[in-house]
Amino acid sequence: MARATFGAGCFWGVEELFRQTKGVTSTAVGYMGGTTENPTYEEVCTDRTGHAEVVDLEYDPSQITYEELLRVFWENHNPTTPNQQGLDIGTQYRSVIFYHSQEQREAAEKSKQELEASGKWKDPVVTQIVPAAPFYRAEEYHQRYLQKRGQSSCHF
Euclidean distance between CA atoms 34 and 25, whole angstroms: 26
Residue 145 is predicted with a pLDDT of 83
Question: Is the separation of the CB atoms in 47 and 92 below 8 Å?
Answer: yes
**With 50 as the cut, is the pLDDT of residue 156 above it?**
no
- The pLDDT-based confidence of 149 (bands split at 50, 70, 90) is confident
Of the residues 2, 8, 10, 17, only one is catalytic, namely 10
Report pLDDT digits (tens) over 13-41: 999 999 999 999 999 999 999 999 999 99
> Does the annotation mark 154 as catalytic?
no
Give all strands of the β-sheet with 128-131 in edge-to-edge order: 128-131, 95-99, 2-8, 52-59, 24-32, 136-137
CATH of domain 2-148: 3.30.1060.10
